[in-house]
Amino acid sequence: MNKIFQFSIQILTLLLIAFFFSSAKSQSVKPLLKPGDPLLSVEIKANLTAAEKEYLGVKNAKKFRLSDIQASVIVVEYFNKYCPHCQRQAPIMNDLYHAIQEDATLKSKVKMLGIGSGNNAKQVELFRQEKSIPFPLIPDDQFILHDEVGRPKTPFTILFKKTDTGTGIVSAASLGVVVSKEKLLEDIRTLVASDVLVLEEATEATEWAKHTADAPQLSDDEFQKVVVDRLAVIGEKVIQFERVLVLDPTFDIVYKIRTQEKGGVPPGVYFVRKVYRNTVCGNCHDAHFWYYFDARGKIINFYSIYLTKAYNKQWSESELNAFNKRIIGRSIQEKFVFNPKIDAVTAATITSSLIYDTLGETKSLFAQLKKTGAIK
């Protein structure tokens, strides 16, 4: 009976481990949204004004889905307040909105929506005021909606076409500044006036999306050397280094390390997370960094593999140290709310917000590590 019980416990443990690893992998970076993909079904949390609610034709001002919008064609622009390309595109999108509103055929059939990737409500409102944006803008400070479309660089403009059954499809998607309002308006007219679902010659933009890295990618061996060398500087010798959680084999891996006993102090056990995040802004490089925390969830240190700011200048040692002072010693159980006035490295607001968003995910990872037995 005891053997059967022990065997059952072992099977249950394996199933739990498989479940949590499967759960972790489900958080992998989604492929970039492309023409032919279905209409996004994710719930959008908002705080629409009465006028915005009426414009979109939705019943709930606090939450809705794209399928709830009363239109046959929906134009969605992903932007970031600090992205210079988005600032350049703003007048083009404003002109597009006014052209649609002035056209009796298009006015009731086409609606526009902006999503501020990494921007909070205050930042979105500032962008609205600075650029006189006439259509609804939704904050996405935790990158939830941004992740749903594959973490594109901004601006990212999507044309969705809805069907009579309430479903829909991506008709076109373009990364970069839209070349002209006229071409985009022509594409919209085509979708409204015909049965076409996917445009063969979609609106051109300055570049198409690529998920290729423009920051250095490190193998396990290369990264292990980085960690070992860095900890050696502070007198810690790494004697164990192993993967314990793979959220994405390219973008997000957690390692367990053990350091050698020193001066009667027991060996330390730490968890190192190596993260590669696609930048939000098309004018910046992607962010590659790592940080580690102990078995109690306290952040020990944060390091750059490749972090840049405006004009793709790398972070200086003093900037990295200043950033570290904001996060070292904090518990990953905390809520990491990004305040650009306090937390941002000068000229690296977008990158800083990406890092804070990543740190905010650590609480759920900590729970997974405990469930899988990596943390006792």
- Each of the 376 residues of the chain gets a pLDDT tens digit; together they read 444 444 444 444 434 433 333 333 334 568 899 999 999 999 999 999 999 999 999 999 999 999 999 999 999 999 999 988 899 999 999 999 999 999 999 999 999 999 999 999 999 999 999 999 999 999 999 999 999 999 888 999 999 999 877 789 999 998 888 888 999 999 999 999 999 999 976 555 544 344 444 566 789 999 999 999 999 999 999 999 999 999 988 889 999 999 998 776 678 999 999 999 888 886 677 899 999 999 999 999 999 999 988 777 899 999 999 999 999 999 999 999 898 889 999 989 889 999 999 999 899 999 999 999 999 8
Sheet holding 168-178, edge to edge: 137-140, 110-117, 73-79, 156-162, 168-178, 205-207
The backbone torsions φ and ψ at residue 233, rounded to the nearest 5 degrees and listed phi first, read: -60, -30
SS (H, E, C) 82-142: CCHHHHHHHHHHHHHHHHHHCCHHHHCCEEEEEEEECCCHHHHHHHHHHHCCCCCEEEECC
pLDDT at 286: 84
Maximum C-alpha span of the chain = 80
d(CA 181, CA 89): 10
Tokens at residue 200, please?
């063969």
CA atoms within 13 A on the CB side of 363: 10
pLDDT of residue 9: 42
Using DSSP's 3-state secondary structure scheme, residue 294 falls into: strand
Start-to-end CA distance of the chain, whole Å, equals: 27
pLDDT of the residue at 36:
93
The three-class DSSP label of residue 310 is: helix
Distance CA 55, CA 168 (A): 20
Tell me the pTM.
0.80
Structural domain boundaries in the chain: 44-207, 220-371
- How is residue 245 written in tokens? 């959680």
Q: 245: closest CA among 369, 373, 363, 359? A: 369
Q: What is the structure's pLDDT at 213?
A: 43
Please tell us whether the domain made up of 44-207 is placed in CATH 3.40.50.11810: no
CA-to-CA distance for 181 and 205, rounded, in angstroms?
A: 11
Token representation of residue 147? 């992740």
Residue 218, helix vs strand vs coil: coil
